[in-house]
Amino acid sequence: MAPGGVAVVTGGTGGLGSAVVDCLAKEGGHVVSCGSGKPAGDARPAKGGQSIHRMSFDVTDEKAVDAAFAEIHKRWGGLDTLVHCAAVAADHLLPQTSQAEWERILSTNLTGAMHCMRAAGRIMLRRRRGHIIAVSSFTALRGARGLSAYSASKAGLIGLSRSLAAELGGRGVRVNVVCPGMLDTPMGRAAPAEAWESQERESLLGRGQSVDEVAAFIATLAGMQNVSGQVLNIDSRPAPWS
């Protein structure tokens, strides 16, 4: 993100999202940290040219998302970066997955992403520039036992992002996907011990990725002007060709 720009981070109060907010804020400009059930307003006072703001909306609520992005556009006159981190997960085998749980995960992780990416894209098209970064998952590339709904939603996010990159690229808007492995976040810590053991065993480095390093990668990617339509595996486990 260019100094003085405007960035929105959904899931900005979560483990990875909050780290992304901090990284983007170091570059100056305005960073809007979005979550659900959190009070709106400034999260921290401006410092060194940066300001961090907090907004509250449910990504599954189309009207709430559109209203939030309209307010962002009205307040700052545009949008340079969207990092979509908002997601939920549940660890159940598919035969034990209820319809309600399936719909909750797909509604948040895929339909919610569509709402935010569509709203951001509309703003970015007006100025013929911007960058949308979707946070998917290593499980989208290979699948994972007990995470059928989550894996499906994150794989769908890749297809959505690649299609959007093709649709918006001709008008200067970049769209990319980042696929981290398991991270030391509240969501990651809820995973069973065997999942962590499997990641460490399969890692070429014998260890997982850190939240801060993934956040720093996303912040660096946000400022890259000539990369779009890519699926970037941020892990040390070999992944299928993308």
> Is 82 marked active-site?
no
Residue 210: how many other CB atoms lie within 10 Å: 13
Taking each helix axis from N to C terminus, what angle separates 62-76 and 112-127, rounded to the nearest 10 degrees? 30
What CATH number labels 6-234?
Answer: 3.40.50.720
Whole-angstrom Cα distance, residue 56 to residue 66?
A: 12
- The residue behind tokens 């941020």 is 234
Residues 6+ apart with CB under 8 A from 82: 7, 8, 9, 10, 116, 117, 120, 130, 131, 132, 133
For 106, the enclosing helix (H) or strand (E) is helix 99-106
Residue 135 is which amino acid?
A: V
Q: Which of 26-40, 109-123, 128-142, 155-169 has the lowest mean pLDDT?
A: 26-40
Q: Has residue 227 got a pLDDT over 90? A: yes
Sign of torsion over alpha carbons 85, 104, 119, 225? positive
pLDDT-derived band at 188, boundaries 50, 70, 90: low
Rounded (10°) CA dihedral 116, 119, 124, 125: 130
- Reported as half-sphere exposure (CB side, CA atoms, 13 A), residue 167 has a value of 13
- Asked if residue 191 has pLDDT above 80, the reply is no
What is the residue-averaged pLDDT of the chain?
Answer: 86
Query: SS3 for 82?
Result: strand
pLDDT of 144 reads 79
pLDDT score at 186: 64
Query: Nearest Cα to 116, choosing from 155, 82, 149?
Result: 82
pLDDT at 170: 96
Q: Quick one: pLDDT band at residue 46, thresholds 50, 70, 90?
A: very low
Alpha-carbon torsion, ordered 220, 122, 118, 11, to 10 deg? 50
**Listed range (137-146, 210-219, 227-236) with the worst mean pLDDT:** 137-146
| Highest mean pLDDT (candidates 19-23, 188-192, 235-239) | 19-23
Assign 26 to helix, strand or coil.
Answer: coil
Confidence of residue 190 (pLDDT cuts 50, 70, 90): low
- How much is the average pLDDT of 24-47? 72
Whether 152 has a pLDDT exceeding 70, the answer reads yes
72-120 tens-digit pLDDT: 999 999 999 999 999 987 888 888 889 999 999 999 999 999 999 999 9
- Sign for the CA dihedral angle at 192, 134, 58, 21 comes to positive
Where is average pLDDT lowest: 39-48, 62-71, 150-159? 39-48
Cα 239 to Cα 10: distance, rounded to the nearest angstrom: 26
Active-site residue among 115, 150, 208, 214? 150
